[in-house]
Amino acid sequence: MKAVMRNINYCNYYERRDNIYTEYTQIPIIDVARLCNIHMKDSSGVEARCRCPFCDNGRGKMNASINKDSGLFYCFRCGEGLNSVTLYAKICGTDSKSAYRELLDSAA
């Protein structure tokens, strides 16, 4: 049975092997933000405001947003936009494939 790639959501990951796409497990971005010790404010709604770990100005401004529905992190100051795996990879200084495996191991 072949899995066909349709309407890729930002928080879904696909692996391509022999022209067959297999869907990976979803990793919630809020869980990744907590794992990376990103301080969030008002994380009960759809969007949570937070400090950008890449351009934080040191004044404590919440200049970034995490959207739970789309699974995206976006900083309004530096323009950095990442999904859960790439956010973890950039903070930890690793590639996306290794970051995905580490996140799966930490969830288990």
Confidence grade of residue 1 (pLDDT, cut at 50, 70, 90): very low
List Cβ neighbours of 92 (8 Å cut-off, separation of 6 or more): 36, 99, 102
- The CATH number of whichever domain residue 98 belongs to comes to 3.90.580.10
Tell me whether residue 102 is in a domain.
Answer: yes
pLDDT tens digits, one per residue of 39-91? 888 767 889 999 899 987 667 778 899 999 889 999 999 999 999 999 999 99
Domain extent, residue 40, equals 27-107
79: its two tokens: 């323009």
Radius of gyration for the chain, computed over Cα atoms and rounded to the nearest angstrom: 15
pLDDT at position 8 is 37
Query: d(Cα 74, Cα 62) in Å, to the nearest integer?
Result: 11
Query: d(Cα 53, Cα 37) in Å, to the nearest integer?
Result: 9
Q: Which amino acid appears at position 14 of this protein?
A: Y
Please give the mean pLDDT across all residues of the chain. 79
**Nearest to 12, CA basis, from 85, 87, 64, 68:** 85
Tell me whether residue 15 is in a domain.
Answer: no
Tell me whether residue 8 is in a domain.
Answer: no
Number of domains making up the chain: 1
